[in-house]
Amino acid sequence: MDAISVIRTKRDRGRLTDAQIDWVIDAYTRGEVADEQMSSLAMAILLNGMDRAEIARWTAAMIKSGERMDFSSLPVPTSDKHSTGGVGDKITLPLAPLVAACGAAVPQLSGRGLGHTGGTLDKLESIPGWRALLSNDEMMAVLRDVGSVICAAGDGLAPADKKLYALRDVTGTVEAIPLIASSIMSKKIAEGTGSLVLDVKVGSGAFMKNLADARELASTMVGLGTDHGVKTVALLTDMSTPLGLTAGNALEVRESVEVLAGGGPADVVELTIALAREMLDAAGLPDADPAKALADGSAMDHWRRMIIAQGGDPDAALPVAREQHVVTAAESGVLTKLDAYAVGVSAWRLGAGRARKEDPVQFGAGIELHAKPGDTVKAGQPLMTLHTDTPEKFDYALQALEGAADYAAAGTEFTANPIVLDRIS
């Protein structure tokens, strides 16, 4: 086989055969298929799609490209969570130690930022000393000692996905449902977790802009997990407005610690507890109370132990950007919209994300929100603060925020979207 014939098949709206899929994934992993060829195939998949059988075979080929982990020796059940990505989505940070405090083990393999959405590993690396790269033995040791670990997938786990994940970020192919589903599920199935809860974001700041696409993605992933023996459920959650009051790496770590301390924004707390309950139920621990574990400090204790176990200092000062710029409300009245996508792109332009897969991120860069939809504001009052080490980025970041906020007359009733929109099982 050759890459050109595979690309042409999908370019011409054909169906890839099992043999074509097996070959192209294996050849790309070995370096026989070049990045530019896989980029072309990824774009063809984005434009022309894949059927259920193609996605299943693509996922199986990604799993087969590497090793599979086994947590059956742990004395407690395992449960994991994955988010499809959003703006201000720091939920994994408080969620993993919270679920561990309730009695399940959480082997959380996470990724870096994709496009305008932040990456869990980028956020945690803003903590001095913290290590994302752990060997399988180190990962197991942290799980046994602490109950939760958040780390990068090892080189041996779905290596095809590791290459393709970075490529999608810089080639405009992140939104392809077949590639999202196979990327997520190949890692999670190979990881060996006993149960999985998917947080499928819906709205302007998500890759799925509407409920129909989100349901399609969620159903595809739930089916893939179930077929491989992993108990899988999905929540569709709102991403029309940023989660919480921060978007950016160190900014989101600070907010996550506030949640673990019993405070934090109400939407972050609500979604963290909702996902924790789903994870615990899927793990066979339906009577555990995550709200109590947040209130009594046990989740914070697990957080500190987890950070220390991975080389980090939970008491160290987090990076702070050198420059700030305040954006003020353009009108007086009720804030009715604060577009998540605009905020995400602006944070990305400030340095919180990367334009090329090899680019570093600025740990202190991002956006701090001072109001959310439903709040009453006055013209000229601070609406958000932009943070960056490179002030020449402000103008470009501000362009992304044009039209991001809408206002209504003071006293106008406003009803926000619910955080959880639907459940797929």
- Determine phi and psi for 202, rounding to 5 degrees: -135, 130
Each residue of 94-145: pLDDT tens digit? 999 999 999 999 999 888 886 788 899 999 999 999 999 999 899 999 999 9
Give residue-wise pLDDT tens across range 371-397: 999 999 999 999 999 999 999 999 999
**For residue 354, what pLDDT band results from cuts at 50, 70 and 90?**
confident
Per-residue pLDDT band at 162 (split at 50, 70, 90):
confident
Residue 357 confidence class, pLDDT cut points 50, 70, 90: low
> What percent of the chain has a predicted confidence (pLDDT) above 70?
100
Average pLDDT of the chain to the nearest whole number: 95
Which carries the bigger pLDDT value, residue 13 or residue 229? 13
**Structure tokens belonging to residue 235:** 């929540």
Pairing of strands 323-328, 246-247: unpaired
Give span(s): CATH 3.40.1030.10, the chain. Answer: 80-309
118 contact partners, CB below 8 Å, separation of at least 6: 85, 87, 88, 89, 90, 247, 248, 249, 252, 344, 347, 352, 353
Q: How much is the pLDDT for 405? A: 98
Which segment of 62-66, 150-154, 298-302 scores lowest on mean pLDDT? Answer: 150-154
The pLDDT value recorded for residue 217 is 93
pLDDT for 377 equals 97
Amino acid occupying residue 183: S
Phi, psi torsion values for 183, nearest 5 degrees: -65, -50
How many angstroms separate the CA atoms of 291 and 272, rounded? 9
Whole-number pLDDT of residue 155: 77
Every domain of the chain with CATH number 3.90.1170.30 lies at 323-408
- What per-residue string of b and e applies to 337-358 under the rule 16 or more CB within 10 Å gives b? bbbbbbbbbbbbbbbbbbeeee
What pLDDT, in 10s, does the model give residues 78-90?
A: 999 999 889 999 9
Return the active site residues.
82, 161, 168, 183, 187
CA angle 12, 14, 15 (to 5 degrees): 155
Residue 327 in contact with residue 384, Cβ under 8 Å?
yes
In angstroms, the Cα distances linking 248 to 118, 209, 271 are 7, 22, 19
Asked if the model's pLDDT at residue 154 lies above 80, the reply is: no
CATH among 3.90.1150.10, 3.90.1170.30, 3.40.228.10, 3.90.700.10 for 323-408:
3.90.1170.30
Which of 405-418 are b and which e, b meaning 16 or more Cβ less than 10 Å from the residue's Cβ? Answer: bebeeeeeeeeeee
Which CATH architecture fits 80-309? 3-Layer(aba) Sandwich (3.40)
> pLDDT of 192-209, one tens digit each?
999 999 999 999 999 899
Confidence of residue 216 (pLDDT cuts 50, 70, 90): very high
